[in-house]
Amino acid sequence: MGTGSWLHWAILLVVVILIFGTKKLGNVGSDLGKAVKGFKDGIKGEEDKAAAPAAPAASTPPAQVADKSTIDVEAKEKSKQ
């Protein structure tokens, strides 16, 4: 049960083109190329991060900002009085 002859592959290609259409196959090819390029860029970026020295962390914690939708209960009670 080998790989088959070139005629079998040609018939398979024609059937796939008839089912999916050339436009859909072109989109799949370009999406696959973008995915491979993104993967390679991600690997390259990780290697660059590993080679670069780590930046020192900030010593001060970020300031906490209250949510504008919260209501301070004490301020509300004082304004009622």
pLDDT digits (tens, 9 = 90+) for 19-52: 888 888 888 888 999 999 999 998 888 777 777 6
Domain ranges of the chain: 21-53
The span from the CA of 57 to the CA of 53, in Å, is 12
The span from the CA of 32 to the CA of 26, in Å, is 10
Whether residue 9 has pLDDT greater than 80: yes
CA 77 to chain centre: 48
The span from the CA of 64 to the CA of 80, in Å, is 28
Q: Which two tokens stand for residue 70?
A: 């919260």
- What pTM value is reported for the model? 0.39
Higher pLDDT, 32 or 53: 32
| Per-residue model confidence (pLDDT) at position 66 | 57
